[in-house]
Amino acid sequence: MSARFVARWRDLRPADSVVYRDLGQRPPAPVDAAWVHAAFTPPTARSPWMQQRLAESDMLVDELLQADVIVAGVPMYNFGPPATFKAYVDNIVRVGRTFGFDRSRAGEPYWPLLAELGKTLVLVTSRGDYGYAAGERLAPQDHLGPWVRTAFGYIGIGDVHEVAVEYDEFGGERLQQSLERASADIDALAERLAQQHPRRAA
């Protein structure tokens, strides 16, 4: 489904560049104590090992900063995101790069650094069960969509659009109908966003 969105976008805006990242095949290294130590050390005071530990994170953040539209295909694993996507988010939520922090700041010590950049996130999810939408039977057990919105909103990406496929574990006609609905929603969303997003100068 995420590939469908990108294909439709390419049809509408063939001059746009697309960066593809497969987190399942090449997952980012999980955040650990050394990473946190390095990230919270001022850049001018970082030793070579700290710079090396943050190199992958820097690459992912740079990639994010260059993107106007982020398309994330994220299946639901046990009510939440896969560990590989969690590792990705942990690497891009970076103090001094995607969010600010100042403990002496009055009121809220944290603030998003990407809020004025006009970025959009398209979240395409798949679920084995069904009924996770607001007000439905499993809505309180959806720890994927709300978590993604919280994490990306924290760094300033609040324009989030979600399309979900359900009934993966059931198959049959209900899955087919869900796929058809999601396909139509994705096509319509790609067309709408392609019109809304400004084109960059060549």
| 78 known member of a binding site | yes
202: confidence class by pLDDT, cuts 50, 70, 90: low
In angstroms, rounded to a whole number, what is the distance separating the alpha carbons of residues 193 and 202?
A: 20
Token code pair at residue 155: 């760094």
**pLDDT, tens only, 17-49:** 999 999 999 999 999 999 999 999 999 999 999
In angstroms, rounded to a whole number, what is the distance separating the alpha carbons of residues 72 and 69?
A: 10
**pLDDT, tens only, 97-135:** 999 998 888 888 999 999 999 999 999 999 999 999 999
| 77 known member of a binding site | yes
- The residue type of 33 is A
**pLDDT, tens only, 123-180:** 999 999 999 999 999 999 999 999 999 999 999 999 999 999 999 999 999 999 999 9
Q: What is the CA radius of gyration of the chain?
A: 18
Q: How far is CA 32 from CA 9, 28, 36, 38, in A?
A: 37, 12, 6, 10
**DSSP 8-class letter at 47:** -
Token code pair at residue 104: 């002496």
What's the pLDDT score for residue 199?
Answer: 77
71: Cβ contacts below 8 Å, ≥ 6 apart: 2, 5, 6, 122, 124
What's the pLDDT score for residue 65?
Answer: 97
| H or E element, residue 56 | helix 55-66
Q: How far is CA 16 from CA 11, 13, 63, 70, 73, in A?
A: 10, 6, 15, 13, 20
Name the CATH superfamily, with its identifier, for domain 2-196. Answer: Flavodoxin domain (3.40.50.360)
| 79 known member of a binding site | yes
| 132 known member of a binding site | no
